């Protein structure tokens, strides 16, 4: 097997053009990666999946509703605030698009079980057209009626401080569901910490911020100095270290909860052997990238002959279900009829830990709902009421072995 790398550009501006080149290249049998939850990713997927020798795709990071075979119809999504020109509302890839990332609908369902009630606040951007936000916000709004929405403009960082002020005006325990892209999450939490330090955030006894997978940015270093400074200011703050500010969310793949997964162990050993930093696995992106490629390679190995066709590979990927499911580094991989991953994500809490050689100074743990979660009943053993297969919420090993 030969792996080609195609750079779509910082803002995926070259995604569609590259998709046309890859589709016209007879040596390309499948594509993995596919970028983020973005209209340009949908455009590229529609090109690759168009008639005339379509190319199978396995996306690693795309989580928004609509980015599957049928526009996520089973979830009954609301695309009302999405861009009017959005094509993903009808699905992408013409049956040739799959994804190993847990869709935001499932992530919000897991987080709702953790909350066991509506959040006090919804933190949202003023412009809701981004696919990541416009498809997840309607589900977040269903967590409770008349939940106060606190809006900020990602283009003006001063509004992030204003959003933090509204959190700090509350009293007692406060829960806030953050539904925006997490580029501003560090800034938002930093402003809360600053106001607490300056004696302007004394009302809340504890603040729990809940978010979906993009919140992983709080665990891994930021490339921009200003964003990294905000991130570290939060993680090194007394408020965070004492548990008065908590961050709970659903990662793409969590290295700490996958330690008993033999396939994750294989990936980790390969990382070490190739000279990569093991810490790069902590964000989950590398794990999902590995699993998207592993999905394709395992599908190819089920086929006979030296030159399988694109259609054969697509059919083999489609057959990864039931007894033919695959164990990936991030857990079991199985696709439903919409080409979405069937397994459930986990909710984890980012918390301080002692630094050790070769390890991050911060670790993950299962959220402890009994640890002064404001006005919420303990839900460590709470079972999902809407799933035909009911399981405890925070059972990492069972979910990894399932």
pLDDT of the chain, 402 residues: tens digit per residue: 899 999 998 888 999 999 999 999 999 999 999 999 999 999 999 999 999 999 999 999 999 999 999 999 999 999 999 999 999 999 999 999 999 999 999 999 999 999 989 999 999 999 999 999 999 999 999 999 889 999 999 889 899 999 999 999 999 999 999 999 999 999 999 999 999 999 999 999 999 999 999 999 999 999 999 999 999 999 999 999 999 999 999 999 988 889 899 999 999 999 999 999 998 999 999 999 999 999 999 999 999 888 899 999 999 999 999 999 999 999 999 999 999 999 999 999 998 865 433 344 455 555 554 443 333 322 221 222 333 333 333 333 332 333
Strands 326-328 and 331-333: antiparallel
Instruction: Supply the pLDDT for residue 75.
Output: 96
The answer to whether 195 touches 167, Cβ cutoff 8 Å, is no
Closest CA to 337 of 349, 322, 351: 322
pLDDT at position 58? 98
How many other C-beta atoms lie within 10 A of the C-beta of residue 162? 14
CB-count exposure of residue 382 (10 Å: 0-12, 13-18, 19+): middle
What's the confidence (pLDDT) of residue 116?
81
Identify whether the C-beta of residue 31 lies closer than 8 Å to the C-beta of residue 310: no
Report how far residue 4's alpha carbon sits from residue 28's, in angstroms, rounded to the nearest whole number. 9
How do 245-249 and 348-352 pair as beta strands? antiparallel
Q: What pTM was computed for the model?
A: 0.86
Half-sphere exposure of 328 (CA within 13 A, CB side): 33
| Residue 335: half-sphere exposure toward Cβ, Cα within 13 Å | 25
Rounded to the nearest 5 percent, the helix, strand and coil shares of the chain are 40, 15, 50
Reduced to 3 states, what is the DSSP secondary structure of residue 341? strand
Beta bridge partners of 148: 121
CA dist., res. 279 & res. 100, Å (int): 21
What pLDDT is stored for residue 351 in this prediction? 85
Q: Tell me what pLDDT residue 357 has.
A: 39
- Any idea how long the chain is? 402
Query: For residue 369, what pLDDT is reported?
Result: 47
Collapsing DSSP to helix, strand or coil, 143 comes out as coil
Instruction: Report the half-sphere exposure of 196 (CA within 13 A, side-chain side).
Output: 24
Residue whose pair of structure tokens reads 């997927």 in the numeric block: 45
Please, which residues bridge with residue 312 across strands? none
3-state secondary structure of 58: strand
Closest CA to 90 of 67, 64, 63, 71: 71
Strand 204-211 to 57-59 pairing = unpaired
Domains, the chain, ranges and CATH?
15-101+281-333 (no CATH), 105-251+345-401 (3.40.50.2300)
């Amino acid at each position: 097997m030969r792996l080609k790398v195609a750079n779509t550009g910082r803002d995926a501006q070259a995604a569609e053009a590259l998709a046309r080149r890859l589709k016209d290249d007879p040596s390309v049998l499948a594509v993995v990666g596919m970028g983020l939850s973005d209209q340009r990713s949908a455009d590229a997927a529609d090109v690759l999946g168009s008639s005339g020798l379509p190319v199978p795709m396995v996306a690693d990071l795309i989580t928004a509703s609509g980015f599957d075979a049928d526009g996520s119809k089973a979830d009954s999504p609301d695309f009302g605030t999405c861009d009017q020109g959005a094509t993903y509302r009808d699905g992408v890839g013409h049956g040739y698009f799959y994804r190993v990332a847990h869709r935001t609908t499932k992530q919000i369902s897991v987080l709702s079980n953790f909350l066991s009630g509506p959040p006090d606040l919804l933190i949202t951007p003023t412009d809701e057209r981004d696919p990541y936000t416009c498809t997840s916000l309607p589900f977040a709004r269903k967590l409770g009626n008349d939940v106060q929405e606190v809006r900020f403009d990602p283009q003006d960082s001063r509004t992030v401080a204003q959003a933090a002020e509204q959190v700090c005006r509350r009293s007692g325990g406060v829960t806030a569901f953050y539904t925006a892209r997490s580029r501003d999450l560090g800034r938002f939490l930093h402003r809360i910490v600053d106001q607490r330090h300056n004696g302007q955030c004394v009302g809340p006894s504890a603040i729990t911020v809940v978010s979906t997978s993009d919140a992983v940015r709080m665990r891994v270093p930021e490339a921009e100095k200003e964003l990294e400074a905000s991130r570290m200011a939060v993680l090194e703050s007394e408020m965070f270290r004492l548990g008065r500010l908590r961050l709970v969310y659903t990662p793409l793949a969590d290295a700490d909860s996958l330690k008993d997964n033999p396939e994750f162990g294989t990936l980790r050993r390969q990382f070490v052997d190739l000279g990569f930093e093991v810490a790069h696995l902590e964000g989950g992106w590398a794990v999902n990238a590995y699993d998207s490629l592993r999905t394709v390679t395992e599908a190819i190995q089920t086929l006979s002959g030296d030159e399988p066709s694109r259609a054969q590979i697509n059919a083999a990927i489609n057959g990864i279900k039931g007894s033919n499911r695959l164990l990936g580094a991030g857990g079991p991989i199985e696709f439903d009829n919409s080409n979405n991953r069937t397994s459930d994500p986990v909710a984890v809490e980012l918390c301080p830990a002692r630094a050790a050689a070769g390890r991050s100074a911060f670790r993950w743990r299962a959220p402890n709902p009994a640890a002064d979660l404001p006005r919420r009943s303990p839900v460590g053993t709470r079972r999902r009421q809407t799933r035909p297969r009911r399981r405890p919420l925070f059972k990492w090993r069972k979910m990894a072995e399932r």
